[in-house]
Structure 1
């Protein structure tokens, strides 16, 4: 058997999960998708793995790591119950292959005023809310705390009744989520049923590991379509 360090490695991107705690404080969790387990894990888990070769550090934090696992197994196919008659590539692609892994979250105690500023500066429509154990407990949206503008040029402002409220008090405690390993068609069905344009992807421990949007699915389908056309013309 080859020594691990003699085998070709794979370079994996490191992703950032940021959680705003209010008053300018922020916690950062670095994650990477393990090529063997096919789950998103905390980078500190990789630091104790014998297959780890190197973590590339830059001023902004860890960027990539080189992994020398003995074998990179393919992702397991989803279980029975998906009755959609789709080509295998469509039927079995998992959400963790398409989702955005760099996610910004907030803590339960972040105030409405800080949330309003967050929505304005980051141009997002909603953020996941995490408890002190970094587990998902809800989602706060712009509509939960902002008063609609009367004119197009007006910037939406914090609703007076929301002033001083915390994320925990404002959030929707039943966010639309899918589990890591869910197939893209299943996730699309969840979005359609809930009439939403994005879903949070969570691990078995209810930790946020990514976000999948309808646009992610559309881009993926477009890329597949272009690839099929290219193969038929070549």
Structure 2
């Protein structure tokens, strides 16, 4: 979005893309934490907070990228806060800035799961959204672990052709699940959850951290994805190795499309 400047030229009105953390619970219910990074406050804010700000103008939906952003009447557009750099659109080389903040590069729509979500449901989410991993978060949306495709495959391999099961017993006053002859009992599979298979140590970075810090940390820890958190520790995005490569390619002048939106 542009407006005419004082000398007839065009002035860019900054857009700040809304990030959505989709948190899936063990009952299948999904809650969405929508935030936007405010370059003036240098922190994340909820969309409701943003709408109450005197600089707020409108919400803008981009049909091409299928993203919603906040149109803000700030005095100056912060680097990366507005729409895509016109030089990058034209395919012109731009300097590679290792201090570029993660808020500009990360994937803004991230799927998260609670620790109680069953392994089969996690597998379905990985397949449906074509992703290789996701953060495991607590009730407040703070990361407590990471679960990856490798974790799911490892758990399936350990189970083999047979699943661990536990004996079903009825409490006093309850009806027996099945009427069976003496000496028989009922077994049911043990429910495996995200808590059982996740990596409990979370390597994470604040949204104001730079791509330089993220790339170094990912290489040092040998991880392919990092949860990106706000001041209060809640997940506001995720950075993958592909996000880093996509950013680098664009800085080198290549026309690389954004990551595909998953239905």
Same fold (TM over 0.5): yes
Cα RMSD for the two superposed structures? 3.3
- 1:27 maps to 31
2:110 alignment partner, one of 103, 106, 115? 103
Counterpart Cα distance in 1 of 2:67 and 2:98: 34
Counterpart Cα distance in 2 of 1:214 and 1:159: 35
- 1:15 maps to 19
1:211 alignment partner, one of 230, 238, 249? 238
Kindly provide the CA deviation profile for residues 150-199 of structure 1, in whole angstroms up to 9, marking residues without a partner as x.
9xxxxxx9983595122223321112212222221221111111112222
Counterpart Cα distance in 2 of 1:135 and 1:129: 8
Pairwise CA distance, 1:149: 8.5
Give matches, 1:122-141, under 5 Å: 122-141=129-148
Q: How many residues align?
A: 203
Counterpart Cα distance in 2 of 1:160 and 1:115: 17
Counterpart Cα distance in 1 of 2:202 and 2:233: 12
Kindly provide the CA deviation profile for residues 59-114 of structure 1, in whole angstroms up to 9, marking residues without a partner as x.
xx992322123444569xxxxxxxxxxxx853322222211111110112212221
Counterpart Cα distance in 1 of 2:150 and 2:118: 15
Counterpart Cα distance in 2 of 1:223 and 1:216: 11
Question: Based on CA coordinates, which of the two structures has the bigger radius of gyration?
Answer: 2
| Structure 1 stretches lacking a partner, 5+ long | 1-6, 76-87, 151-156, 228-234
- 1:160 maps to 163
Counterpart Cα distance in 2 of 1:135 and 1:197: 19
Query: Residue 226 of structure 1 aligns to a residue in which SS?
Result: coil
| Structure 2 stretches lacking a partner, 5+ long | 1-10, 81-94, 165-188, 255-263
CA separation of 1:123/1:131 partners in 2, compared to 1, >3 Å: closer, same or farther? same
Task: Say whether the 8 Å CA contact 1:147–1:159 is kept in structure 2.
Answer: no
Kindly provide the CA deviation profile for residues 29-63 of structure 1, in whole angstroms up to 9, marking residues without a partner as x.
112222323433221221321221223589xx992
TM-score (norm 1): 0.72
Higher relative contact order (CA 8 A, sep 6+): 2
- 2:178 maps to none
TM-score (norm 2): 0.65
**Which one has the bigger helix percentage?**
1
CA separation of 1:96/1:57 partners in 2, compared to 1, >3 Å: closer, same or farther? closer
